[in-house]
Amino acid sequence: MSDNAPRKKLAFTQRVAILLFLLLAAYPISLGPTCWILSRFQWDHKFPHLAYAVSNFYEPLTRQILFGPKPVERSMKWWISVGMSSRTTFQDQPRAIRWDQPGYNYTLISY
């Protein structure tokens, strides 16, 4: 019975490590679909508190996108623009993440 205890502890530790890794990877990956949904449904007009919460939730990541290494900035801005609708124009601004549609624009973050 004592032989199984270290194995179970190791298995639990490995599961926790994998879960933490997946959560950390999901945070930046989820920014694209979140922006696509905001763009398509213009939820910031219908639910301004939701748009505010999204901006606050992603602020640490957007700060790294805007002020971090250029490859990170380019790849994340590309990822955000991938799922935008065809009528959306992604604005490549140096200190903001913004997109425009006819009669509508949204700035995720601006410094």
Q: Give tens-digit pLDDT for 57-90.
A: 999 998 888 898 999 988 988 898 888 888 888 7
The answer to whether residue 17 sits within a structural domain is no
Q: What is the pLDDT of residues 8-32, one digit of tens each?
A: 777 888 999 999 999 888 988 999 8
User: How many residues are present in the chain?
Assistant: 111
Q: What is the C-alpha to C-alpha distance for residues 102 and 94, in angstroms, rounded to an integer?
A: 22
Amino acid, single-letter form, for residue 8:
K
The answer to whether residue 101 sits within a structural domain is yes
- Cα–Cα nearest to 41, from 81, 88, 77: 88
Dig out the tokens for 92 from the structure.
């490549």
Q: How many structural domains does the chain have?
A: 1
Whether the full predicted model's pTM is greater than 0.85, yes or no, is no
- Cα–Cα nearest to 24, from 54, 53, 61: 61
The answer to whether residue 20 sits within a structural domain is no
What are φ and ψ of residue 42, in 5° steps?
A: 50, 50
The whole domain housing 98 covers: 27-110
The answer to whether residue 60 sits within a structural domain is yes
